[in-house]
Structure 1
């Protein structure tokens, strides 16, 4: 039955306008207190090379939308992230008929990265809900969408958002406890890109300063963070930040949950993050794709160009990672997951 449904979907797509459409792009204005929401969608207008930040993308900017499959997927970017590094997964989803919306997370985006970490993680799930609201208010997209079953995809800090929306509970104090116990082994997860351990004489000061700040800011905040949205019906978490979650809360996700992992992730070491989630939720979640040779930036596609220093070390592809062959397959599997759980 499932195979015949898939064949019917492909047959239908052949005759639909969106099957031959380009990828449109529009920006919904920011609501009070929020950043803008970038929307990608099937468009009848021709795409043209378009410069966005350091990227050139083929987009039909403000192109006329055409009806797709009637479903929306929200994408939550990583720390300091932007919509443009998720353009390839957006294109895969748009080619399958989805509308894709990406909120700009406050004080943790490429324009303003002043407050990443637990403060941002606390706000992000509600920002996802308000992004759905923003699309629902827009007269171009609202008539084409059924918002009773929305998909959600998040990568890195966006993966943390995804796990929250899947029913996961976490607290800033749990983040502090994790860093107290595993500071050296999971240093970048605890401090981000502010500094790194070098093996030199200043490492002791770096570790002391990191723990002082983490304990002072987060150690006493034990209130569990929870946020769900009944409209969200399927979730994908890519290389998620997750060491601060109560894993019991992820043992039975409230909606279908898929994971994407990267074996060479040195920013969010798998044994503290994605491996723990999989151990807690399997078989009630699904491993969509494992990239044994992929690093933390493997899902950034197109990848940020000309990175250097610590951010380059964390996000550039490790030797041996076959991006050209691996990423299209991961995007296809991710799109298939949303098609399976969101379409009739």
Structure 2
């Protein structure tokens, strides 16, 4: 029955039930939070619009129109931006969704001061406050029902997604993972600070990384966050080595996973593969990319990357992002369409 429902959803997406263009707006969140970028259906004509290093074909500040009455919140990766998820947003908007993307504090493309467990602690509540911000906005609130919201996260955003799906984790869990697997999962543990090269300074790098990790991340208090409005979740190449996998054995809502087997940043056997082993058959593998790397889900991809950031996000040999990602986005959209049934904009209308 589930496969049939997904097939129907995919047919609907492919047949063009919704022909609206994609609007782009920015709304303020709670005090202390960054802005929330919103993509949404509009009948206004799109124009090439520059945002950071990207040119998007959108109707900036276009008038929103009613779609399917559902909201999906997207949590970006460390140092991330809304623009690298614009193609996924377009797929969702064409299916009638409104898409909201919070800017995670001190872990975004404008401010990268504090990635890792400190950010992971704050992110789930930032997602909840992004939902609140959309619900306060006079343009979008009348078009949406907030009883069933979708949530998508990639990389560090995938960590956020797993937390909202009912997973629990601790900074001490991160420390324990890195103590045991520092060499094999080095970039996951140290980020963009440095890398192992096989040279004479590798020993010093490992010693320094362990020193910092042990000093900063020894708190064993479980981190958890629940938002009852969130009713379906997708985690793409999630950071997840610090989770108590038993807490993900029975996700609290439908949970979909997207994996990339050539991910050298979040090595699958420590991250996505462990999640799948814990939650199947109570979660779903939406898509696996055998030749995809860590940045495979970013679309449009960031241009002209080099060094460590290029190693993380550029495509491995043999991966064709242009042919793979549209299908992954369609499957992701079908997952949300299946689990977040369309509702009338009229709050008094029956389900």
CA contact (8 A) 2:21 2:44 kept: yes
* 2:281 match: 283
* 1:256 match: 254
For residues 4 and 181 of structure 1, the distance between their equivalents in structure 2, rounded to whole angstroms, comes to 40
Q: Give 1:14 shift.
A: 5.9
Q: Give 1:116 shift.
A: 0.1
For residues 244 and 151 of structure 2, the distance between their equivalents in structure 1, rounded to whole angstroms, comes to 21
Cα distance, 1:10–1:260 mapped onto 2, change above 3 Å: closer
Q: Deviations over 1:316-336 (max 9, x none)?
A: 000000111110000000000
Indicate yes or no: 2:237 matched with 1:235.
Answer: no
CA contact (8 A) 2:86 2:299 kept: yes
Aligned residue for 2:296, secondary structure, equals coil
Q: Which runs of 5+ in 2 are unaligned?
A: 343-351
Residues 16-55 of structure 1 mapped to structure 2, 5 A cutoff: 19-55=18-54
Alpha carbon RMSD of aligned pairs, Å? 1.7
Cα distance, 1:293–1:113 mapped onto 2, change above 3 Å: same
TM-score (norm 1): 0.96
Q: Give 1:273 shift.
A: 0.1
* 2:299 match: 301
Aligned residue for 1:70, secondary structure, equals coil
Cα distance, 1:24–1:177 mapped onto 2, change above 3 Å: same
Cα distance, 1:96–1:209 mapped onto 2, change above 3 Å: same
For residues 6 and 190 of structure 2, the distance between their equivalents in structure 1, rounded to whole angstroms, comes to 49
For residues 273 and 171 of structure 2, the distance between their equivalents in structure 1, rounded to whole angstroms, comes to 21
Aligned residue for 2:292, secondary structure, equals coil
TM-score (norm 2): 0.94
Indicate yes or no: 2:319 matched with 1:321.
Answer: yes
* 2:348 match: none
Cα distance, 1:300–1:8 mapped onto 2, change above 3 Å: closer
CA contact (8 A) 2:6 2:334 kept: no
* 2:175 match: 176
Q: Deviations over 1:44-66 (max 9, x none)?
A: 11000011000011010000001
Cα distance, 1:165–1:8 mapped onto 2, change above 3 Å: closer
Detail structure 1 runs of 4+ shifted over 6 Å in the superposition. Answer: none
Q: Give 1:20 shift.
A: 2.0
Q: Give 1:182 shift.
A: 0.3
Of 323-332 and 75-84, the range deviating more from structure 2:
323-332
Q: Give 1:191 shift.
A: 0.3
Q: Give 1:278 shift.
A: 0.2
For residues 121 and 288 of structure 1, the distance between their equivalents in structure 2, rounded to whole angstroms, comes to 24
Cα distance, 1:4–1:210 mapped onto 2, change above 3 Å: closer
- Structure with bigger RCO (C-alpha 8 Å, 6+ apart): 2
Residues 154-233 of structure 1 mapped to structure 2, 5 A cutoff: 154-219=153-218, 221-233=219-231
Indicate yes or no: 2:89 matched with 1:90.
Answer: yes
Q: Deviations over 1:192-243 (max 9, x none)?
A: 0110001001001100100000000012x00000001000000000000000
Q: Give 1:9 shift.
A: 8.8
For residues 4 and 129 of structure 1, the distance between their equivalents in structure 2, rounded to whole angstroms, comes to 27
Cα distance, 1:7–1:105 mapped onto 2, change above 3 Å: closer
Cα distance, 1:211–1:285 mapped onto 2, change above 3 Å: same
Cα distance, 1:181–1:325 mapped onto 2, change above 3 Å: same
Cα distance, 1:85–1:146 mapped onto 2, change above 3 Å: same
Aligned residue for 1:101, secondary structure, equals strand
Q: Give 1:8 shift.
A: 12
* 2:309 match: 311
For residue 340 of structure 2, the aligned residue among 335, 338, 342 is 342
